[in-house]
Structure 1
Amino acid sequence: MNPSSSRLPITCSVEKLQQELTICENDLWTPHFNTNRYEGNWTSVSLRSQSGLVNDITSFSNKKYINTPLLDRCHYFKEIMDWFKCEKEAVRLLRLGPNSEIKEHTDNDTSYEDGFFRIHIPVVTNTDVFFYVDKKRVLMEMGECWYADFQLPHSVENKSSEPRIHLTLDCLRNEWSDRLFEEMGFDIHFSSNKNQYSEEVKQQIIAELMQNPSEINAKIIAGLQSK
């Protein structure tokens, strides 16, 4: 079995990350649509989304994604994206507010074995942020790049008085990433058993999407109902 989380052999400039964060601070940070998954304040802004809008923060596989206008102003974020020689889906900044919590949950089809990998790069964080994957605490320092298998149970608690902000990249597996992950000690031939959303979770997501009618949400609902 492959590691539940692993640090990548790349380190980003914290100074440049935080400089680009200031460019994004005045944009529309949108609360996460699944309000049952968190307590407090959990918001996001998109650098790459399905619609090309910064407030389109949904992340679903097998969809077409395009850059948002915000990315055009964030040259260092673009440089980081270009380091990953693979197709990118959603690229977002995720902000968990002070004294806020993302409850333990799983995200379907988000393990490397499923052909997908999500990268987390802490832009602002501290030692009072507790990030757990498969019941194990993952200590992520600012500027580091981390992969985690988010198909496993995971949660985050920000016990500090400051926000925790990560740059996240949703990437699609290819030959380049296979070489990278193999160098990191992964068995790239390992296969996992895929899970599906439970009917209860699916209905919760649909109900929350219906509270915010839009063409994008209607397509997501249709996709969920067809499964």
Structure 2
Amino acid sequence: MKTAFLKLPFHFSEEKLLDDLAICKNYNFTSHFNKNDYSGDWTSISLRSENGEMNNIFALPQTEKKYRDTELLQKCTYFRAIIDSFECEKESIRLLNLKPGSVIKEHTDYNLGYEDGIFRIHIPITTNKNVHFFINHDEVKMFPEECWYGNFNLPHSVRNEGKTDRIHLVMDCLRNDWSDKLFAESGYNFEAENVQTEYSRETKLQMIEQLKLMDTKISREMILQLQKEL
């Protein structure tokens, strides 16, 4: 079975994470573009984006464009140190905030698993015991100071039933020899990578709708590929 999630062997300072979060809160977070995938209040701000702007929160894996650090990242010394500790190329890097009472509905992403040459990292900054994060129908409890990989090709959802914000630092990184060693040491199942993920027709249609919202060259190419598979 493919590895749905992994806790990686990093330990970060909650105090320093909160210090940099306080800097970010001086700027406006942008509502997530895919209104169909959530209810309530789900917002984001970019530390690294395609055009280097904080309000560009699109995160399409492995685009042809080079991602650039935003002005905000230059102000966040601890976030920069964490990012630099990952010895691989990075694409989108954002803060994602799920407000109390908000829900990210179950969905799947496209080409966003380690087997696709990319891996998405979650580093919790603020959370509470009533946040419920499911990946492939298993609940994953993520706490500040920890670092997690999730295979978001698999069904996933989040509910914040608590009274405080759930804010994660989320990084999209490109796989290399360094990350292979890291994942091997953390228990990743490399043998299962060659098993092709089969998406239902309904799931492919949902992916197409998500990609339409992005309306970029890469998203349009992905739509064409998915449409061929219907």
TM-score calculated relative to the size of structure 1: 0.90
Corresponding residue number in structure 1 for 2:204: 198
Tell me, yes or no, if the aligned pair for 1:50 and 1:56 is still in contact at 8 Å.
yes
Aligned: 1:84 with 2:86: yes
Q: Deviations over 1:110-168 (max 9, x none)?
A: 11111111100000001000000011100111110001111110000000111100001
Q: Deviations over 1:155-185 (max 9, x none)?
A: 0000011110000110010000000011112
Corresponding residue number in structure 2 for 1:164: 166
Describe the SS at the equivalent of 1:144.
Answer: coil
What is the CA distance between 1:220 and its match in structure 2?
A: 5.2
Q: Kindly tell me: are residues 225 and 140 of structure 1, through their superposed partners in 2, closer, same or farther at Cα, counting changes over 3 Å? A: closer
Select the residue among 96, 105, 108 that pairs with 1:106.
Answer: 108
TM-score calculated relative to the size of structure 2: 0.89
Q: How does 1:167-178 map to 2 (within 5 A)?
A: 167-178=169-180
Partner Cα separation in structure 2 for residue 19 and residue 169 of structure 1: 19
Q: How does 1:13-24 map to 2 (within 5 A)?
A: 13-24=13-24
Tell me, yes or no, if the aligned pair for 2:211 and 2:220 is still in contact at 8 Å.
no
Tell me, yes or no, if the aligned pair for 1:178 and 1:188 is still in contact at 8 Å.
no
Describe the SS at the equivalent of 2:9.
Answer: strand
What is the CA distance between 1:186 and its match in structure 2?
A: 1.7
What is the CA distance between 1:187 and its match in structure 2?
A: 3.2
Tell me, yes or no, if the aligned pair for 1:108 and 1:195 is still in contact at 8 Å.
no
CA RMSD of aligned residues (A): 1.7
Corresponding residue number in structure 1 for 2:44: 44
The one-letter code of the counterpart of 2:70 is T
Corresponding residue number in structure 2 for 1:3: 3
Aligned: 1:30 with 2:9: no
Quote the sequence identity (%). Answer: 46
Partner Cα separation in structure 2 for residue 198 and residue 139 of structure 1: 28
Partner Cα separation in structure 2 for residue 20 and residue 200 of structure 1: 35
Structure 2: tracts of 5 or more residues without a match: 226-230
What is the count of residue pairs matched by the alignment?
Answer: 219
Partner Cα separation in structure 2 for residue 180 and residue 147 of structure 1: 11
Partner Cα separation in structure 1 for residue 198 and residue 88 of structure 2: 25
The one-letter code of the counterpart of 2:194 is S
Describe the SS at the equivalent of 2:82.
Answer: helix
Aligned: 1:142 with 2:144: yes
Partner Cα separation in structure 1 for residue 177 and residue 20 of structure 2: 30
Q: Kindly tell me: are residues 218 and 180 of structure 1, through their superposed partners in 2, closer, same or farther at Cα, counting changes over 3 Å? A: closer
What is the CA distance between 1:100 and its match in structure 2?
A: 0.2
What is the CA distance between 1:202 and its match in structure 2?
A: 1.2
Q: Kindly tell me: are residues 102 and 15 of structure 1, through their superposed partners in 2, closer, same or farther at Cα, counting changes over 3 Å? A: same
Tell me, yes or no, if the aligned pair for 2:211 and 2:223 is still in contact at 8 Å.
no
Partner Cα separation in structure 2 for residue 188 and residue 205 of structure 1: 28
Select the residue among 70, 73, 76 that pairs with 1:74.
Answer: 76
Q: Kindly tell me: are residues 204 and 171 of structure 1, through their superposed partners in 2, closer, same or farther at Cα, counting changes over 3 Å? A: closer
The one-letter code of the counterpart of 2:30 is T
Structure 1: tracts of 5 or more residues without a match: 210-216
Partner Cα separation in structure 2 for residue 204 and residue 181 of structure 1: 29
Q: Deviations over 1:53-81 (max 9, x none)?
A: 00000011222211111100001001000
